[in-house]
Homo-oligomer: A and B are copies of this chain.
Amino acid sequence: MPTPTTDRYAARARVLKAMAHPVRLCLLDALAKDERCVADLQALVGLDMSTVSKHLAVLRGAGLLDADKRGNQVFHRLRTPCVLGFFGCIESVLAAGAARALDVLEPR
């Protein structure tokens, strides 16, 4: 793997890694339609506020979210909504996996 290429893959991997957590996927989904403040999102996922804040920081760090403070609340929104388009393909990966699992049980 030549180095400039490696860097490209590393950069891409950082973005994917930021997405690759159930809670963070849930957060991205929640932000699909509207911006939300941290307390809203905390109520949604039911974890400690500090944990939610850190998940949001990961998504922001990857460039996936924008945030701004209004009053004493911080509102987050999706920066690049195309990431929501990943889910369709991921579901087909999962469906293919499920089909393969059936093959094992019921080979042709």
Q: Is the CB of A12 within 8 A of B90?
A: yes
Copies in the complex: 2
Question: Which one of B6, B10, B26, B80 lies within 8 Å of A89 (CB-CB)?
Answer: B80
A interface majority secondary structure: helix
Q: A9-B26, A10-B22, A22-B6 are in contact. Are A15 and B90 (CB under 8 A)?
A: yes
A-B contact pairs, 9 of them (CB 8 A): A1-B46, A6-B26, A11-B94, A16-B86, A17-B21, A82-B88, A82-B89, A85-B89, A86-B86
Q: A13-B19, A64-B93 given. 16 additional CB < 8 A pairs?
A: A9-B26, A12-B94, A13-B21, A13-B24, A15-B93, A16-B20, A16-B90, A17-B20, A17-B21, A19-B20, A63-B97, A79-B93, A80-B92, A80-B93, A82-B92, A83-B93
